[in-house]
Amino acid sequence: MTPRYELHCHLDGSVRPGTVADLARSQGITLDGPVERLVTAPACGSLAKFLTYIDVPLQVLQTPDALSRAARELVEDWQADGVVYGEVRFAPQLHGRHGMSQDEAVEAVAEGLAAGRAATGVRTGLLLCCLRHQTPEESLSIAETALRHRDKVAGLDLAGDERLHPGAPHRAAFDLAHAADLPCTVHAGEAAGPESMWEAIDVLGARRIGHGVRCAADVALLDRLRHDRIALEMCPISNVLTGAVPSLDGHPATRLLAAGLPVTISTDARTTAGTTLAREFEGWTAEQEELAQAHAAAAAFGN
């Protein structure tokens, strides 16, 4: 089997259901919904609804120990999935309900990743997420946090619904990251069209695009992605669940791969989407997966 690389994986969407239940018991928390609510319904249909499935795991990911455990277990799950290098991203500002600071959250996830690496040999990278619906000042704070932990943080991301919230207001955070040579990726071309991807590239300086499935009709954009080797972090099953593409058969990944674009494949949120990389590559030829993995290895921020 070709060694696998995962570049787009959200920690809060990849917590084992049993772990969420166990953490809730140990923390004395009554969850807002059943553990079964962690996995998206097949008829989800929108990014906004998809994101609500993260609410339950976020309830228990409010302590350093919980974050460390979730990160360690993710690395173990990567190993079981044939992953030799995985990047996980999370928004530390979402984990302060009980007073945990952004720095403490980053340290906790980094410790869990280190424990997972030691146990499995899987290499890891950590990305911090700015959130589109938050203020530019909050995003700048995330970029500053990333730079304080430059030895542990491999990149900066902008996540959220680009249809409702443009990326340009967050430019200061990305300018700060670029000044420190911290590579950046941006969610775009998922909920909105090619214009969100142009903004990610030309305004925010993205080296990779999260999802990017809505680029296929813009020939100039395809040329730019191909020429500048801007990797697409595509997540086929998630893209269907959020309505970004109508079906797996209609997903553009293999077509764009054949057209010379640096397509990579990830799960997005292993638990929320109910998927693994092995499942994402079902129906692909060995040659197609090998090419996608080569693109992912070349685009990795932490290698």
Query: DSSP readout, 7-27?
Result: --BBGGGS--HHHHHHHHHHH
Report residue 127: phi and psi, to 5°.
Answer: -115, 145
Average of per-residue pLDDT across 54-71: 96
Q: What pLDDT, on the 0 to 100 scale, is given for residue 303? A: 65
Nearest one of 225, 210, 214, 212 to 268, comparing CA atoms: 210
What does the radius of gyration of the chain's CA atoms come to, in whole angstroms? 18
SS3 212: coil
pLDDT of residue 193: 94
Q: What's the confidence (pLDDT) of residue 51?
A: 87
Is 248 in a helix, a strand, or coil?
Answer: coil
Distance separating alpha carbons of residues 300 and 232, to the nearest angstrom: 12
Number of Cβ within 10 Å of residue 95's Cβ equals 25
Q: What is the mean pLDDT of residues 88-92?
A: 98
189 pLDDT above the threshold of 80: yes
How high is the pLDDT of residue 52? 87
Predicted local confidence at residue 34, as pLDDT:
74
Mean pLDDT of the chain: 96
Active site residues: 190
d(CA 212, CA 28) in angstroms, rounded, equals 40
State yes or no: pLDDT of 41 exceeds 90. no
Question: Average of pLDDT values for 111-123?
Answer: 98
CA distance 23 to 109: 16
Neighbours of 228 (CB within 10 A): 11
Of the CA atoms within 13 Å of residue 118, those in its CB half-sphere come to 8
- Mean per-residue pLDDT, 25-53: 85
Q: Is the pLDDT of residue 37 over 80?
A: no
**What pLDDT, in 10s, does the model give residues 237-277?**
999 999 999 999 999 999 999 999 999 999 999 999 999 99
Query: Which CATH architecture does the domain made up of 4-299 adopt?
Result: Alpha-Beta Barrel (3.20)
The closest alpha carbon to 192, from 209, 172, 169, 171, belongs to 209
* Percentage of residues in the chain having pLDDT higher than 70: 100
| Statement: residue 127 has pLDDT above 70 | yes
Residues in the chain: 303
What's the order of all strands across the beta sheet hosting 155-159? 4-6, 83-90, 123-131, 155-159, 184-188, 208-211, 231-234, 263-265
Reported as a pLDDT band with limits 50, 70 and 90, residue 287 is: very high
- E strand intervals along 175-293: 184-188, 208-211, 231-234, 263-265
Reported confidence tier of residue 282, pLDDT bands at 50, 70, 90: very high
Q: Which residue has the tokens 């010379």?
A: 260
The 10 Å Cβ neighbour count of residue 148 is 13
Q: How far apart are CA 303 and CA 285, in angstroms?
A: 26
Lowest-confidence range among 103-107, 116-120, 160-164, 291-295?
A: 160-164
Helix/strand/coil percentages in the chain, nearest 5: 50, 15, 35
